[in-house]
């Protein structure tokens, strides 16, 4: 709503699934909406008050919006842009034969809008709802808008990315009660306008850089796909073992502390320990014994290994020989070294000729027993030569400091390291990122 209390007028480019839902729902919220499409069949249906797609609750919304005069349609981009304050781009981004993303429709609509902006006086905001890979908006679409309009984004017009989170079958409900609202911004004016379109709609709101907004949709969809495949593979193994897979998953789904939660979903270092690697191995082996194909489960350890190699390659690429490691156990607060990725990383660095010094507050050779001691005797038989009880000794030793422990004492020691020391952060310690500015700080995957 602007200063006069008037709701922004909206043009919606692309009247397929996302576009028709967005157009009807914004009209139902009181916005004057004009829909734009090149398909005369869609335009004719909407002029008659009929939706171009089948979706629960949409027929009534379209009928009421058209009857009230809040929703109209046209095939003229010029008419739509000149008669609106905000343009929502909701065109398809289909797959190319090789798996890449086609931006042909995005670029075609952007070309139309850019040409109209050249002649339009006053501010206009272009909002991309289409799913597109990070870099598409800033790398292709904004330059196209600027080139064709002769104007500058953030100065003469605004651009935002506002991904949709609509599920077919419940999209009208999802519009009114989304899991979240995400707005990728180029500047605050347009971001405030787009966020304001959702006034009164519940759920968390995120105003983020454009690339983050573009990526958010892909993270969601890939995780949803992963969940489906995971559940189906578990089901296939259960069926082969004569177990009720739904009963098994009822137990799994009851855990909202670790399973259905934010636990384990922050980028960090590889997993290890006495449970996860062996249990993934065992279940994948059981599947093979019963001729059950489980490509997701079978590749979990391969993915974990690839992540460990990223850390190793990041260190070796620096060309520095002296390395300090903070943390050796498979996670902070324990002395368990079994299948610790830090032990593996240390072993590989030593094998590559690096001079490695290690500090772990909880690891002392004199206290290691049983399988824990057996594992370290096998993997790092000369560990005593590489352990240091003093954090500062490690911080002063390493030309590269690898941080897998984020406790205050460790961070303070790293902060005391000589200028020029490179820090590779495996656990995301914001304080370190701020302290080691520029090329003296590397995040493993951030």
Predicted local confidence at residue 435, as pLDDT = 76
Q: Which residues pair with 157 in a beta bridge?
A: 153
Predicted local confidence at residue 2, as pLDDT = 57
| Whether 414 contacts 432, CB under 8 Å | yes
Predicted local confidence at residue 331, as pLDDT = 83
For 219, phi then psi, to 5°, come to -60, -45
Q: Encode pLDDT of 182-211 as tens digits.
A: 999 999 999 999 999 999 999 999 999 999
Predicted local confidence at residue 337, as pLDDT = 87
Q: Is 42 annotated as a binding residue?
A: yes
Predicted local confidence at residue 120, as pLDDT = 97
Average pLDDT of every residue of the chain: 94
Predicted local confidence at residue 319, as pLDDT = 96
Greatest CA separation for the chain: 82
- Report angle CA 58, 63, 65 to the nearest 5 degrees: 95
Which range among 93-102, 237-246, 431-440 shows the weakest confidence by mean pLDDT? 431-440
b/e map of 280-316 (b: 16 or more CB within 10 Å)? Answer: beebbeebeeeebebebbbebbeebeebbeebeebbb
Given a cut of 90, is residue 439 above it in pLDDT? no
| Whether 90 contacts 130, CB under 8 Å | yes
Q: Is 331 annotated as a binding residue?
A: yes
Torsion of CA 17, 20, 24, 30, to 10 degrees: 120
Q: Is 166 annotated as a binding residue?
A: yes
Cα separations (Å) of 362 from 126, 366, 370? 55, 11, 16
Q: Is 93 annotated as a binding residue?
A: yes
Q: Is 278 annotated as a binding residue?
A: yes
Predicted local confidence at residue 374, as pLDDT = 80
Q: Is 217 annotated as a binding residue?
A: yes
Predicted local confidence at residue 4, as pLDDT = 55
Predicted local confidence at residue 254, as pLDDT = 98
- Asked, colleague to colleague, whether 10-209 and 304-443 share their fold, the answer is yes
Q: Is 322 annotated as a binding residue?
A: no
Predicted local confidence at residue 1, as pLDDT = 61
Predicted local confidence at residue 282, as pLDDT = 97
Give yes or no: 238 in active site. no
CA–CA gap between residue 47 and residue 60 (Å, rounded)? 14
What average pLDDT score do residues 409-420 get?
94
Q: Is 272 annotated as a binding residue?
A: yes
Predicted local confidence at residue 367, as pLDDT = 74
Q: Predicted confidence band at 3 (pLDDT cuts at 50, 70, 90)?
A: low
pTM: 0.91
Token pair, residue 412, equals 């303070």
Q: Encode pLDDT of 323-380 as tens digits.
A: 999 999 988 888 888 889 999 999 999 999 999 999 998 887 767 788 778 878 888 8
**Structural domain 10-209, CATH architecture:** 3-Layer(aba) Sandwich (3.40)
CA–CA gap between residue 20 and residue 12 (Å, rounded)? 8
The alpha carbon of 5 is separated from its chain's Cα centroid by a whole number of angstroms, namely: 36
Q: Which of 25, 90, 137, 275 is catalytic?
A: 275
| Whether 268 contacts 310, CB under 8 Å | no
Q: Is 120 annotated as a binding residue?
A: no
What average pLDDT score do residues 260-267 get?
96
CATH class of 304-443: alpha beta
Q: Predicted confidence band at 5 (pLDDT cuts at 50, 70, 90)?
A: low
What average pLDDT score do residues 155-164 get?
98
Domain ranges of the chain: 10-209, 304-443
CA–CA gap between residue 360 and residue 219 (Å, rounded)? 34
Q: Is 167 annotated as a binding residue?
A: yes
């Amino acid at each position: 709503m602007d200063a006069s209390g008037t709701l922004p007028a909206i043009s919606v480019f692309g009247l397929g699934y996302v576009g028709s839902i967005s157009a009807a729902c914004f009209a139902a919220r009181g916005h004057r909406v004009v829909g734009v499409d090149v398909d005369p069949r869609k335009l004719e249906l909407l002029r008659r008050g009929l939706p171009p797609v089948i979706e629960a609750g949409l027929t009534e919304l379209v009928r009421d919006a058209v009857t009230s005069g809040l929703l109209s349609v046209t095939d003229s981009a010029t008419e739509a842009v000149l008669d609106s304050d905000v343009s929502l781009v909701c065109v398809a981004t289909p797959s190319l034969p090789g798996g890449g993303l086609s931006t042909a429709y995005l670029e075609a609509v952007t070309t139309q809008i850019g040409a109209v902006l050249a002649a339009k006086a006053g501010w206009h905001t272009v909002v991309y709802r289409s799913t597109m890979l990070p870099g598409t908006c800033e790398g292709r679409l904004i330059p196209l808008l600027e080139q064709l309009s002769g104007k500058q984004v953030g100065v003469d017009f605004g651009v935002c990315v506002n991904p949709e989170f609509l599920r077919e079958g419940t999209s009208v409900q999802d519009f009114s009660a989304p899991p979240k609202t995400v707005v990728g911004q180029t500047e605050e004016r347009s971001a405030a306008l787009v966020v304001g379109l959702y006034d009164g709609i519940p759920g968390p709101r995120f105003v983020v850089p454009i690339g983050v907004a573009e990526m958010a949709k892909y993270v969601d969809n890939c995780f949803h796909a992963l969940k489906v495949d995971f559940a189906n593979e578990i089901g296939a193994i259960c069926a082969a073992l004569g177990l009720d897979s739904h009963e098994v998953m009822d137990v799994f789904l009851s855990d909202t502390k670790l399973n259905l939660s934010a636990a384990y979903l922050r980028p960090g270092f590889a997993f290890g320990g006495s449970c996860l690697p062996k249990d993934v191995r065992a279940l994948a082996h059981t599947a093979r014994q019963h001729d059950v194909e489980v490509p997701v489960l079978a590749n979990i350890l391969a993915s974990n290994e690839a992540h460990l190699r990223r850390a190793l390659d990041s260190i070796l690429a620096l060309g520095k020989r002296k390395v300090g490691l903070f943390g050796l156990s498979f996670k902070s607060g324990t002395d368990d070294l079994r299948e610790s990725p830090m032990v593996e990383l240390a072993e590989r660095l030593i094998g590559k000729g690096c001079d490695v010094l290690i500090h772990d507050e909880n690891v002392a050779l004199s206290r290691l027993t049983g399988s824990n001691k057996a594992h370290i005797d096998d993997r790092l038989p000369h560990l005593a030569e590489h352990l240091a009880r003093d954090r500062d000794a490690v911080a002063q030793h390493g030309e590269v400091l690898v941080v897998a422990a984020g406790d205050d004492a460790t961070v303070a020691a790293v902060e005391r390291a000589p200028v020029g020391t490179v820090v590779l952060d495996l656990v995301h310690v914001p304080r370190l990122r701020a302290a080691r500015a520029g090329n003296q700080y590397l995040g493993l995957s951030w």
